[in-house]
Structure 1
Amino acid sequence: MESFTNIVKKIDSVLSVNQNIEITFDHPDFMVEYKSRVESILTDGIAVAPPTRRCIDVGTSCWVYFLTKGQRYGFSSRVRGYGKERVVLLLLARPQEILRLQRRKYFRVPVEIPVDFQVREETETSLLSGVIRNISSGGVLLIVSRDVVPVGKELRLRFTLSSEISLTEIPGKIVRVEEAKNGKKYEYGVEFIDVHNRLRDIIMRFVFNREIELNRLRRR
Protein backbone atom coordinates (compact mmCIF):
# COMPACT_ATOMS: atom_id res chain seq x y z
CA MET A 1 0.00 0.00 0.00
CA GLU A 2 1.34 3.43 -0.90
CA SER A 3 2.43 5.62 2.02
CA PHE A 4 0.71 8.98 1.72
CA THR A 5 2.29 10.55 4.82
CA ASN A 6 4.30 9.55 7.82
CA ILE A 7 4.24 10.38 11.50
CA VAL A 8 6.68 12.58 13.42
CA LYS A 9 6.86 11.69 17.12
CA LYS A 10 9.48 14.25 18.16
CA ILE A 11 7.39 17.42 18.04
CA ASP A 12 10.28 19.84 18.57
CA SER A 13 12.09 18.49 15.49
CA VAL A 14 9.60 20.14 13.12
CA LEU A 15 7.68 22.70 15.20
CA SER A 16 9.45 25.71 16.71
CA VAL A 17 8.74 29.05 18.37
CA ASN A 18 7.76 31.83 15.92
CA GLN A 19 6.48 29.23 13.45
CA ASN A 20 3.57 30.60 11.41
CA ILE A 21 0.58 28.27 11.50
CA GLU A 22 -2.97 27.96 10.17
CA ILE A 23 -5.78 26.75 12.44
CA THR A 24 -9.30 25.52 11.71
CA PHE A 25 -11.75 24.93 14.57
CA ASP A 26 -14.56 22.40 14.83
CA HIS A 27 -17.02 25.05 15.98
CA PRO A 28 -19.97 26.68 14.13
CA ASP A 29 -18.91 30.17 15.28
CA PHE A 30 -15.41 29.84 13.83
CA MET A 31 -15.88 28.62 10.28
CA VAL A 32 -12.84 30.13 8.55
CA GLU A 33 -9.14 29.27 8.50
CA TYR A 34 -7.19 31.43 10.95
CA LYS A 35 -3.55 32.48 10.85
CA SER A 36 -1.49 32.41 14.03
CA ARG A 37 2.05 31.89 15.35
CA VAL A 38 3.67 29.59 17.89
CA GLU A 39 4.76 31.62 20.92
CA SER A 40 5.88 28.84 23.25
CA ILE A 41 6.16 25.04 23.25
CA LEU A 42 5.44 23.55 26.67
CA THR A 43 5.71 20.03 28.04
CA ASP A 44 1.93 19.68 28.04
CA GLY A 45 0.80 22.21 25.46
CA ILE A 46 1.50 24.80 22.81
CA ALA A 47 0.89 28.52 23.31
CA VAL A 48 -0.05 30.41 20.15
CA ALA A 49 -1.01 33.97 19.32
CA PRO A 50 -4.81 34.36 19.55
CA PRO A 51 -6.10 33.85 15.99
CA THR A 52 -9.25 35.88 16.70
CA ARG A 53 -10.39 38.44 19.26
CA ARG A 54 -13.38 36.29 20.12
CA CYS A 55 -13.06 33.73 22.90
CA ILE A 56 -12.95 30.10 21.75
CA ASP A 57 -14.56 27.53 24.05
CA VAL A 58 -12.27 25.26 26.04
CA GLY A 59 -12.37 21.74 24.61
CA THR A 60 -12.97 22.86 21.01
CA SER A 61 -11.21 20.51 18.58
CA CYS A 62 -8.92 22.07 16.01
CA TRP A 63 -6.50 21.21 13.22
CA VAL A 64 -3.17 22.97 12.85
CA TYR A 65 -1.12 23.17 9.64
CA PHE A 66 2.31 24.64 8.99
CA LEU A 67 5.15 24.66 6.47
CA THR A 68 8.77 24.01 7.44
CA LYS A 69 11.65 23.77 4.95
CA GLY A 70 9.20 23.31 2.10
CA GLN A 71 7.39 20.43 3.83
CA ARG A 72 3.78 20.66 4.98
CA TYR A 73 2.79 19.25 8.39
CA GLY A 74 -0.42 19.01 10.38
CA PHE A 75 -1.80 17.80 13.68
CA SER A 76 -5.07 17.65 15.58
CA SER A 77 -5.44 19.35 18.95
CA ARG A 78 -7.97 21.04 21.20
CA VAL A 79 -8.28 24.34 23.01
CA ARG A 80 -7.11 24.12 26.63
CA GLY A 81 -7.77 27.72 27.54
CA TYR A 82 -5.96 31.03 27.64
CA GLY A 83 -2.73 31.99 29.36
CA LYS A 84 -0.88 35.25 29.82
CA GLU A 85 2.80 36.10 29.80
CA ARG A 86 3.28 39.61 28.46
CA VAL A 87 0.27 39.14 26.18
CA VAL A 88 -2.79 36.87 26.14
CA LEU A 89 -2.07 33.53 24.46
CA LEU A 90 -4.29 30.69 23.26
CA LEU A 91 -3.27 27.36 24.78
CA LEU A 92 -3.56 24.19 22.72
CA ALA A 93 -3.05 20.61 23.86
CA ARG A 94 0.37 19.25 22.87
CA PRO A 95 -0.08 16.66 20.10
CA GLN A 96 1.29 13.17 20.55
CA GLU A 97 2.28 13.09 16.91
CA ILE A 98 2.49 15.32 13.85
CA LEU A 99 1.69 14.15 10.34
CA ARG A 100 4.11 14.91 7.51
CA LEU A 101 1.62 15.70 4.77
CA GLN A 102 1.63 15.61 1.01
CA ARG A 103 2.71 18.85 -0.62
CA ARG A 104 -0.72 19.27 -2.16
CA LYS A 105 -3.15 21.47 -0.26
CA TYR A 106 -5.44 18.55 0.56
CA PHE A 107 -3.75 15.28 1.45
CA ARG A 108 -5.59 12.07 0.71
CA VAL A 109 -5.82 8.60 2.20
CA PRO A 110 -6.79 5.27 0.62
CA VAL A 111 -10.23 3.90 1.49
CA GLU A 112 -12.87 1.52 0.15
CA ILE A 113 -16.18 3.33 0.70
CA PRO A 114 -19.37 2.56 -1.28
CA VAL A 115 -20.90 5.69 -2.78
CA ASP A 116 -24.11 6.60 -4.60
CA PHE A 117 -24.15 9.64 -6.86
CA GLN A 118 -26.35 11.50 -9.31
CA VAL A 119 -25.74 14.22 -11.87
CA ARG A 120 -26.87 17.57 -10.43
CA GLU A 121 -29.72 19.44 -12.12
CA GLU A 122 -30.77 16.23 -13.89
CA THR A 123 -33.61 14.84 -11.79
CA GLU A 124 -34.37 12.22 -14.43
CA THR A 125 -30.90 10.69 -14.09
CA SER A 126 -30.93 7.40 -12.22
CA LEU A 127 -28.82 6.93 -9.11
CA LEU A 128 -25.37 5.55 -9.93
CA SER A 129 -23.04 3.58 -7.69
CA GLY A 130 -19.32 3.21 -7.27
CA VAL A 131 -16.53 2.99 -4.73
CA ILE A 132 -14.42 5.79 -3.26
CA ARG A 133 -10.79 4.70 -3.62
CA ASN A 134 -9.23 7.67 -1.86
CA ILE A 135 -10.52 10.78 -0.12
CA SER A 136 -9.33 14.20 1.03
CA SER A 137 -11.15 17.26 2.30
CA GLY A 138 -10.90 18.55 -1.27
CA GLY A 139 -12.44 15.62 -3.14
CA VAL A 140 -12.53 11.90 -3.88
CA LEU A 141 -11.40 9.36 -6.46
CA LEU A 142 -14.38 7.28 -7.58
CA ILE A 143 -14.16 3.86 -9.21
CA VAL A 144 -17.17 3.10 -11.42
CA SER A 145 -18.03 0.24 -13.74
CA ARG A 146 -18.65 2.38 -16.83
CA ASP A 147 -17.86 5.77 -18.30
CA VAL A 148 -21.26 7.46 -18.20
CA VAL A 149 -20.58 10.99 -16.94
CA PRO A 150 -18.23 13.41 -18.78
CA VAL A 151 -15.65 15.78 -17.32
CA GLY A 152 -17.18 19.03 -16.10
CA LYS A 153 -20.46 17.55 -14.90
CA GLU A 154 -21.50 18.29 -11.33
CA LEU A 155 -22.61 15.49 -9.03
CA ARG A 156 -24.39 14.95 -5.75
CA LEU A 157 -22.72 12.27 -3.66
CA ARG A 158 -23.94 10.16 -0.78
CA PHE A 159 -21.59 8.04 1.34
CA THR A 160 -20.85 6.97 4.91
CA LEU A 161 -17.52 7.64 6.64
CA SER A 162 -18.37 5.77 9.84
CA SER A 163 -21.31 4.49 11.85
CA GLU A 164 -21.69 8.04 13.16
CA ILE A 165 -21.02 10.06 9.98
CA SER A 166 -23.30 9.76 6.94
CA LEU A 167 -22.95 12.44 4.26
CA THR A 168 -25.69 13.22 1.74
CA GLU A 169 -26.11 15.68 -1.13
CA ILE A 170 -22.38 16.46 -1.17
CA PRO A 171 -21.71 18.61 -4.26
CA GLY A 172 -18.79 17.71 -6.49
CA LYS A 173 -17.48 18.24 -10.00
CA ILE A 174 -15.76 15.70 -12.24
CA VAL A 175 -12.32 17.08 -13.12
CA ARG A 176 -10.90 14.00 -14.85
CA VAL A 177 -11.98 10.60 -16.15
CA GLU A 178 -9.50 7.80 -16.87
CA GLU A 179 -9.70 4.12 -17.62
CA ALA A 180 -8.59 2.08 -14.63
CA LYS A 181 -5.44 -0.03 -14.87
CA ASN A 182 -7.41 -3.26 -15.18
CA GLY A 183 -9.22 -1.83 -18.21
CA LYS A 184 -12.62 -2.86 -16.86
CA LYS A 185 -13.54 0.17 -14.77
CA TYR A 186 -13.14 3.95 -14.79
CA GLU A 187 -11.66 6.45 -12.37
CA TYR A 188 -13.50 9.71 -11.74
CA GLY A 189 -11.51 12.48 -10.10
CA VAL A 190 -14.16 14.50 -8.23
CA GLU A 191 -13.51 17.87 -6.62
CA PHE A 192 -15.84 19.04 -3.85
CA ILE A 193 -17.50 22.37 -4.67
CA ASP A 194 -19.41 24.84 -2.51
CA VAL A 195 -18.62 22.75 0.57
CA HIS A 196 -18.78 24.69 3.84
CA ASN A 197 -15.83 24.66 6.22
CA ARG A 198 -17.58 22.59 8.88
CA LEU A 199 -18.09 19.75 6.40
CA ARG A 200 -14.47 20.00 5.26
CA ASP A 201 -13.42 19.75 8.90
CA ILE A 202 -15.55 16.62 9.39
CA ILE A 203 -13.86 15.01 6.40
CA MET A 204 -10.43 16.23 7.49
CA ARG A 205 -10.92 14.70 10.94
CA PHE A 206 -11.75 11.38 9.28
CA VAL A 207 -8.69 11.68 7.00
CA PHE A 208 -6.38 12.45 9.94
CA ASN A 209 -7.67 9.50 11.97
CA ARG A 210 -7.52 7.19 8.96
CA GLU A 211 -3.91 8.14 8.20
CA ILE A 212 -2.84 7.60 11.80
CA GLU A 213 -4.52 4.18 11.73
CA LEU A 214 -2.77 3.25 8.46
CA ASN A 215 0.64 4.30 9.73
CA ARG A 216 0.21 2.17 12.83
CA LEU A 217 -0.73 -0.81 10.68
CA ARG A 218 2.34 -0.27 8.46
CA ARG A 219 4.64 -0.39 11.49
CA ARG A 220 3.39 -3.81 12.61
Structure 2
Amino acid sequence: MLPKINDILFIQVNSVDEEEAQKEFKSRIADIRDEVMSIEIPIEVRTGRLKKLYTGDQLSIYYMSEGGVKNYFNTQVEGFKRDVISLVLIRKPKPEAITKVQRRTFLRVPAELEISVKLADHHQFLAITEDVGGGGISMLCDGKEPIMQKDAVSCWLLIPYRNGTVDHVPFKAEVVRTKELDTGRRLVMLGFTEISDADRQKVIRYCFERQLELRKN
Protein backbone atom coordinates (compact mmCIF):
# COMPACT_ATOMS: atom_id res chain seq x y z
CA MET A 1 0.00 0.00 0.00
CA LEU A 2 1.42 3.37 -1.04
CA PRO A 3 1.54 6.16 1.57
CA LYS A 4 -1.39 8.59 1.57
CA ILE A 5 -1.87 12.30 2.27
CA ASN A 6 -1.75 12.95 6.06
CA ASP A 7 0.22 9.74 6.74
CA ILE A 8 3.01 10.22 9.30
CA LEU A 9 6.49 9.33 8.06
CA PHE A 10 9.37 8.32 10.35
CA ILE A 11 12.65 9.37 8.77
CA GLN A 12 16.38 8.80 9.12
CA VAL A 13 18.86 10.81 7.08
CA ASN A 14 21.71 8.77 5.60
CA SER A 15 24.80 10.56 6.89
CA VAL A 16 28.50 9.82 7.33
CA ASP A 17 28.05 11.36 10.81
CA GLU A 18 27.06 8.30 12.84
CA GLU A 19 25.32 10.34 15.55
CA GLU A 20 23.27 12.24 12.96
CA ALA A 21 22.39 9.02 11.10
CA GLN A 22 20.89 7.53 14.28
CA LYS A 23 18.43 10.40 14.85
CA GLU A 24 14.79 9.76 14.01
CA PHE A 25 12.51 12.46 12.62
CA LYS A 26 8.83 12.52 11.79
CA SER A 27 6.82 14.40 9.20
CA ARG A 28 3.35 14.46 7.60
CA ILE A 29 2.56 14.01 3.92
CA ALA A 30 0.90 17.23 2.70
CA ASP A 31 0.42 16.38 -0.99
CA ILE A 32 1.19 13.68 -3.57
CA ARG A 33 1.68 14.43 -7.27
CA ASP A 34 2.89 12.03 -9.98
CA GLU A 35 6.49 11.18 -8.97
CA VAL A 36 6.81 13.52 -5.98
CA MET A 37 5.44 13.74 -2.44
CA SER A 38 5.36 17.01 -0.47
CA ILE A 39 6.05 16.61 3.24
CA GLU A 40 6.23 19.04 6.13
CA ILE A 41 9.64 20.02 7.53
CA PRO A 42 10.70 16.98 9.62
CA ILE A 43 10.86 17.30 13.41
CA GLU A 44 13.33 15.32 15.53
CA VAL A 45 11.30 12.85 17.60
CA ARG A 46 13.45 13.22 20.73
CA THR A 47 13.92 17.00 20.88
CA GLY A 48 11.12 18.46 18.73
CA ARG A 49 13.63 20.49 16.70
CA LEU A 50 13.11 21.12 13.00
CA LYS A 51 15.51 19.32 10.62
CA LYS A 52 16.99 21.28 7.71
CA LEU A 53 17.29 19.06 4.64
CA TYR A 54 19.17 19.63 1.39
CA THR A 55 18.47 18.60 -2.20
CA GLY A 56 19.98 15.15 -2.78
CA ASP A 57 19.79 14.02 0.86
CA GLN A 58 19.19 10.26 1.02
CA LEU A 59 16.37 9.22 3.37
CA SER A 60 15.27 5.93 4.92
CA ILE A 61 11.57 6.10 5.76
CA TYR A 62 8.82 3.97 7.24
CA TYR A 63 5.11 4.55 7.80
CA MET A 64 2.41 2.49 9.48
CA SER A 65 -0.56 0.86 7.76
CA GLU A 66 -3.45 -1.32 8.94
CA GLY A 67 -2.63 -4.15 11.31
CA GLY A 68 0.51 -2.45 12.64
CA VAL A 69 2.46 -3.14 9.44
CA LYS A 70 5.57 -1.01 8.96
CA ASN A 71 6.26 -0.05 5.35
CA TYR A 72 9.90 0.83 4.59
CA PHE A 73 11.35 2.60 1.57
CA ASN A 74 14.37 4.66 0.56
CA THR A 75 14.09 7.99 -1.23
CA GLN A 76 15.81 11.32 -1.70
CA VAL A 77 15.06 15.03 -1.41
CA GLU A 78 14.11 16.50 -4.80
CA GLY A 79 13.62 20.13 -3.77
CA PHE A 80 11.45 22.51 -1.76
CA LYS A 81 8.37 24.68 -2.17
CA ARG A 82 6.51 27.31 -0.20
CA ASP A 83 2.75 26.84 0.20
CA VAL A 84 0.96 28.01 3.33
CA ILE A 85 3.93 26.38 5.04
CA SER A 86 7.37 25.30 3.83
CA LEU A 87 7.37 21.83 2.28
CA VAL A 88 10.06 19.33 1.30
CA LEU A 89 9.69 17.48 -2.01
CA ILE A 90 10.75 13.83 -1.97
CA ARG A 91 10.66 11.17 -4.67
CA LYS A 92 7.55 8.97 -4.40
CA PRO A 93 8.42 5.27 -4.00
CA LYS A 94 7.29 2.70 -6.52
CA PRO A 95 4.99 0.04 -5.01
CA GLU A 96 7.53 -2.74 -5.62
CA ALA A 97 10.21 -0.76 -3.74
CA ILE A 98 8.25 -0.76 -0.47
CA THR A 99 9.17 -3.45 2.05
CA LYS A 100 6.32 -4.49 4.36
CA VAL A 101 7.34 -5.69 7.79
CA GLN A 102 4.87 -7.36 10.14
CA ARG A 103 5.74 -8.37 13.68
CA ARG A 104 6.43 -11.99 12.73
CA THR A 105 7.31 -11.57 9.08
CA PHE A 106 10.70 -10.12 8.19
CA LEU A 107 12.63 -10.15 4.95
CA ARG A 108 15.80 -12.25 5.25
CA VAL A 109 18.68 -12.05 2.81
CA PRO A 110 21.96 -13.98 2.50
CA ALA A 111 24.83 -11.77 3.64
CA GLU A 112 28.35 -12.13 5.04
CA LEU A 113 28.67 -9.38 7.65
CA GLU A 114 31.00 -9.09 10.63
CA ILE A 115 29.37 -9.55 14.03
CA SER A 116 30.79 -9.31 17.54
CA VAL A 117 29.13 -11.62 20.08
CA LYS A 118 29.35 -11.42 23.89
CA LEU A 119 28.01 -14.21 26.13
CA ALA A 120 26.62 -13.74 29.64
CA ASP A 121 29.99 -14.76 31.15
CA HIS A 122 31.61 -11.93 29.10
CA HIS A 123 33.33 -14.35 26.72
CA GLN A 124 33.50 -12.51 23.40
CA PHE A 125 34.20 -13.63 19.84
CA LEU A 126 33.80 -12.54 16.22
CA ALA A 127 31.70 -14.34 13.64
CA ILE A 128 30.32 -13.91 10.11
CA THR A 129 26.62 -13.85 9.34
CA GLU A 130 25.06 -16.25 6.86
CA ASP A 131 21.78 -14.37 6.56
CA VAL A 132 20.27 -11.22 8.04
CA GLY A 133 16.69 -10.13 8.67
CA GLY A 134 14.57 -7.73 10.67
CA GLY A 135 13.79 -10.42 13.24
CA GLY A 136 17.23 -11.95 13.69
CA ILE A 137 20.33 -13.34 12.02
CA SER A 138 22.13 -16.62 11.37
CA MET A 139 25.90 -16.72 11.80
CA LEU A 140 28.84 -19.05 11.37
CA CYS A 141 31.39 -19.37 14.18
CA ASP A 142 34.14 -21.72 15.31
CA GLY A 143 32.65 -24.95 16.63
CA LYS A 144 34.76 -24.56 19.79
CA GLU A 145 32.93 -21.39 20.87
CA PRO A 146 30.84 -22.13 24.01
CA ILE A 147 27.50 -20.93 22.64
CA MET A 148 24.38 -23.03 23.20
CA GLN A 149 20.66 -22.98 22.47
CA LYS A 150 18.71 -20.47 24.65
CA ASP A 151 21.89 -18.53 25.53
CA ALA A 152 21.38 -14.77 25.84
CA VAL A 153 23.94 -12.74 23.89
CA SER A 154 24.81 -9.09 23.28
CA CYS A 155 25.98 -8.26 19.76
CA TRP A 156 27.29 -5.54 17.47
CA LEU A 157 26.58 -5.97 13.77
CA LEU A 158 28.64 -4.11 11.16
CA ILE A 159 26.40 -2.97 8.27
CA PRO A 160 27.85 -1.42 5.08
CA TYR A 161 25.47 0.44 2.74
CA ARG A 162 25.67 1.02 -1.01
CA ASN A 163 26.45 4.73 -0.52
CA GLY A 164 29.68 3.85 1.32
CA THR A 165 28.49 4.58 4.87
CA VAL A 166 28.81 2.00 7.63
CA ASP A 167 26.60 1.48 10.68
CA HIS A 168 27.20 -0.45 13.90
CA VAL A 169 23.92 -1.95 15.13
CA PRO A 170 23.80 -3.11 18.77
CA PHE A 171 21.19 -5.65 19.86
CA LYS A 172 20.47 -8.41 22.34
CA ALA A 173 19.33 -11.82 21.16
CA GLU A 174 18.57 -15.38 22.17
CA VAL A 175 20.10 -18.44 20.52
CA VAL A 176 17.15 -20.13 18.81
CA ARG A 177 19.05 -23.10 17.39
CA THR A 178 22.56 -24.34 16.65
CA LYS A 179 23.81 -26.84 14.09
CA GLU A 180 27.22 -28.49 13.92
CA LEU A 181 28.70 -28.51 10.40
CA ASP A 182 31.09 -31.01 8.81
CA THR A 183 33.61 -28.17 8.40
CA GLY A 184 34.06 -27.92 12.18
CA ARG A 185 32.11 -24.67 12.28
CA ARG A 186 28.76 -24.09 13.94
CA LEU A 187 25.68 -22.44 12.45
CA VAL A 188 23.92 -20.34 15.10
CA MET A 189 20.45 -18.82 14.64
CA LEU A 190 19.71 -15.72 16.74
CA GLY A 191 16.34 -14.05 17.36
CA PHE A 192 16.36 -10.40 18.42
CA THR A 193 15.07 -9.83 21.98
CA GLU A 194 16.09 -6.18 22.37
CA ILE A 195 16.69 -3.85 19.42
CA SER A 196 15.60 -0.24 18.99
CA ASP A 197 13.20 0.66 16.19
CA ALA A 198 15.89 2.89 14.68
CA ASP A 199 18.44 0.06 14.67
CA ARG A 200 15.93 -2.44 13.29
CA GLN A 201 15.25 0.05 10.49
CA LYS A 202 18.97 0.03 9.64
CA VAL A 203 18.88 -3.76 9.31
CA ILE A 204 15.74 -3.57 7.15
CA ARG A 205 17.35 -0.90 4.98
CA TYR A 206 20.40 -3.14 4.44
CA CYS A 207 18.14 -6.12 3.59
CA PHE A 208 16.26 -3.99 1.08
CA GLU A 209 19.50 -2.84 -0.61
CA ARG A 210 20.88 -6.38 -0.58
CA GLN A 211 17.69 -7.79 -2.13
CA LEU A 212 17.90 -5.26 -4.97
CA GLU A 213 21.57 -6.19 -5.50
CA LEU A 214 20.75 -9.91 -5.64
CA ARG A 215 17.95 -9.30 -8.16
CA LYS A 216 20.39 -7.54 -10.49
CA ASN A 217 22.86 -10.44 -10.46
Please, what TM-score do these two structures have when normalized by structure 1?
A: 0.67
Q: CA RMSD in A?
A: 4.0
**Residue of structure 1 in register with 2:9 after alignment:** 21
In structure 2, distance between residues paired with 1:139 and 1:83: 41
In structure 2, distance between residues paired with 1:31 and 1:161: 14
- What are the ranges of 5 or more consecutive residues in structure 2 without an aligned counterpart? 44-49
1:188 aligns with 2:179: no
In structure 1, distance between residues paired with 2:37 and 2:86: 13
Change (3 A) 1:192 1:160: farther
Find the residue that maps to 2:34 and give its secondary structure: coil
**Residue of structure 2 in register with 1:210 after alignment:** 210
**Residue of structure 1 in register with 2:101 after alignment:** 102
Q: How many residues align?
A: 201
In structure 2, distance between residues paired with 1:99 and 1:83: 25
**Residue of structure 2 in register with 1:179 after alignment:** 178
Q: Which aligned pairs between 1:97-136 and structure 2 lie closer than 5 A?
A: 97-104=96-103, 107-113=106-112, 115=114, 117=116, 119=118, 127-129=125-127, 131-136=128-133
Counting aligned pairs with the same residue, the percent is 17
**Residue of structure 2 in register with 1:93 after alignment:** 91
Change (3 A) 1:204 1:61: farther
Question: Deviations along 1:177-210, whole A, 9 cap, x unmatched?
Answer: 413498994423164978896x777654432212
Please, what TM-score do these two structures have when normalized by structure 2?
A: 0.68
Is the CA contact 1:156–1:172 (under 8 Å) kept in the aligned structure 2?
Answer: yes
Find the residue that maps to 1:153 and give its secondary structure: strand
- What are the ranges of 5 or more consecutive residues in structure 1 without an aligned counterpart? 1-12
Alpha-carbon offset, residue 100 of structure 1: 3.5
Is the CA contact 1:60–1:78 (under 8 Å) kept in the aligned structure 2?
Answer: yes
Q: Which amino acid aligns with 2:103?
A: R
